[in-house]
Chains A and B, each alone.
Chain A
């Protein structure tokens, strides 16, 4: 996948938009029509799907010649995925450990991921969680 993205970024994005448009059109085709055959809840999604598919096609057809120096997709993909992983784990952590502990663990993980040394990460996690608790729970009285 990464190779395709690097080889032709515009083609890759065009393809994604085209596929999303086709998928939207397909799903919304099953939405019911109004009595007397007038368009119903599927009308707008169908128009959006068709426009997305055409725009995707346009992005592919009218793409500029790929710049060999394009590095916009070169970067720390692994770190991005790990960060997403931490956030996606948050709801489970929350269920088992409650809001404060789950937030502190998540911030600690993010700080470690950002290459902050472990004891500083721990301090940041504790202080950030405490500050958020004070601001939201105590000052704004938000149920957390």
Chain B
């Protein structure tokens, strides 16, 4: 395993942060797309280099999504859409460097809080997970799936349909328990199942190209210039963070809780925290609370980026699309998340924790400042040129993993499916969740059922299994009761997916 502080490790962090800062700042390109395009490279790298690079990319790209909002009133990422109006208004009043500084410092502090909670809670969950048998893993998968249905913030029916699609894809190929081939339609390539990594490249990479081709973006122009001094970016925003420390802490904790839910992630965290702040500040004059709303949104989204790794590392449940990709890399590399990972690869776990701290304290402010200064040029990046390169990366990425041209078709098919789902307002994260949790759910159900000679009451015998079942029922109850209320006035479904 490559050390984080080796030459390759440091280069992975620096290049990852740089790539995230540039990519996230270009309107229409998301952190998930940045990570999806990195998959083919990550696949051929040592996990000790690839995983820290993914953390650096996602932490910086989420912040960089605010660059477009600040200078041209275009949210660069769905997370940024939650407060882009406030960012632009504050930029006009106080200058773009100051508002981007608030975003960077809020993100950095939120990210560190998320990372600290990741360090504290992941090991605790692993201690509990050591007691798990196939019965508990079955209930964990059910809990993850149900949380995923209601965490999208949009229509629960559409989320459920996406989830079922993912579960269906997971059944393609030889059945893991009994060895019976399913849904292969005579194709030897499908016998081994749908390649998860290839599917990810199609779902999150190629689908973006199809979306842009279907509805081409107009050319963007920066309305504001980011000239100014470093003081506006670093010192004044940092003082504001200190002054509003309780707001930052509260929003970060909300982000951590949302990020922990399978299938939710940074976008939802950002929307929930900024919505809470908007509700709290009702009655204030327009523009008076812009800095607070920005701080709430940015600290929450980066906290969620870190906390999404808690269930991923400790239980193998993806907290967001980025950790779903990470779990795919784990699968392909033969690494099992959960107690085994903590026992067998403690060095990797420590380097992941350290990466979160370094990314948020060093990389985010440094590359954040760089992307702020380059804002005017990044906004004008020609999209057709980028899309040509993205297509090439999707082709090479899907082909190179197995050296099989057939995978290029799978990638294209998945890309078209994702494009089609997005146009209908169906979330994509739930498809991935289904693909990840499907085999866990089925295998643990069949093993438990066979073990207990099909006495299904044994699923309700063990205390932790009962606790997980009760939690599932609570999630379903709360989901049905409150789903969509928070987002009644803003159709998050469209904003997070388009």
The answer to whether A and B assemble together is yes
Contact present for A40 and B213 (CB under 8 Å):
no
**Which chain A residues lie closer than 8 Å to B209 at the CB level?**
83, 110
A55 touches B387 (CB 8 A): no
How many A-B contacts if CB must be within 8 Å?
Answer: 157
Is B408 a contact of A83 with CB atoms below 8 Å?
Answer: no
Q: Are A103 and B182 in contact (CB under 8 A)?
A: no
The answer to whether B387 and A110 touch across the interface, beta carbons within 8 angstroms, is: yes
A window 91-144: CB within 8 A of B: 91, 94-95, 99, 103, 106-107, 110-111, 113-116, 121, 124-125, 128-129, 132, 135-136, 140-144
The answer to whether B225 has its CB under 8 Å from any CB of chain A is no
A87 touches B206 (CB 8 A): yes
Contact present for B214 and A80 (CB under 8 Å): yes
Q: CA of A59 to CA of B408 in the docked complex: distance in angstroms?
A: 32
Select from chain A the residue with minimum beta-carbon distance to B40: A136
The interface bits of chain B over 404-439 (1 if a CB of A lies within 8 angstroms of the residue's CB, else 0) are 011011011001100100011110000000000010
| Residues of the A chain whose Cβ atoms lie less than 8 Å from the Cβ of B423 | 72-73
Name the distance in Å between A108's Cβ and chain B's nearest Cβ. 9
Cross-chain contact of A83 among B177, B213, B393, B442 (Cβ < 8 A): B213
Main secondary structure of the interface of A (DSSP, over half): helix
Which residues of chain B are near A51, meaning CB under 8 Å? 160, 164
Separation of A20 and B426 alpha carbons in the complex (Å):
15
Q: Are B157's CB and A55's CB within 8 A?
A: yes
B171, B393, B399: the one contacting A99 at CB < 8 Å is B399
> Is B395 a contact of A87 with CB atoms below 8 Å?
yes
Chain A residues with CB under 8 A of B441: 44
The residue that B400 contacts in the complex, of A45, A90, A142, with Cβ under 8 A, is A142
Report if A135-B171 is in contact (Cβ < 8 Å); known contacts: A79-B214, A91-B405: no
Task: List B residues 368-393 near A (Cβ within 8 Å).
Answer: 384-385, 387-389, 391-393
Residue of B nearest to A45 (CB): B171
Give the residue name and chain of the A residue nearest to B405 (CB). A91
Residue of A nearest to B407 (CB): A91
Q: Across the interface, do B409 and A132 meet the contact criterion of CB distance under 8 Å?
A: no
CA distance A34 to B412 in the complex (A): 36
B41 proximal to A (CB < 8 A): yes
Pairwise interchain contact B45-A140, C-beta atoms closer than 8 A: yes
The reply to whether A107 and B388 contact each other, CB–CB distance below 8 Å, is yes
A contact residues around B406 at 8 Å (CB): 91
Min CB distance, A48 to chain B, in Å?
Answer: 5
B392 touches A107 (CB 8 A): yes
Check B44–A140 contact: CB distance below 8 A: yes
Which residues of B sit under 8 angstroms from A75, Cβ to Cβ? 214-215
Q: What 0/1 pattern do residues 51 to 69 of A give for CB contact below 8 A with B?
A: 1100110110010000000
A141 CA / B400 CA spacing, docked (Å): 11
Among the listed A31, A44, A62, A106, which residue makes an inter-chain contact with B157, where contact means beta carbons less than 8 Å apart?
Answer: A62
Indicate if the CB atoms of A114 and B396 lie closer than 8 Å: no
Which residues of A are in contact with B by a Cβ distance under 8 Å?
9, 13, 17, 20-21, 24, 27-28, 31-32, 34, 38, 40-41, 43-45, 48-49, 51-52, 55-56, 58-59, 62, 72-73, 75-77, 79-80, 83-84, 87-88, 90-91, 94-95, 99, 103, 106-107, 110-111, 113-116, 121, 124-125, 128-129, 132, 135-136, 140-144
**15 contacts across the A-B interface (CB closer than 8 A):** A45-B171, A55-B160, A59-B157, A72-B423, A76-B215, A79-B214, A90-B395, A91-B409, A95-B405, A106-B391, A114-B388, A140-B41, A140-B44, A140-B45, A144-B396
- Sample of 7 further A-B pairs with CB below 8 A, known A44-B445, A106-B392: A45-B171, A48-B171, A72-B423, A88-B409, A90-B405, A116-B384, A144-B403
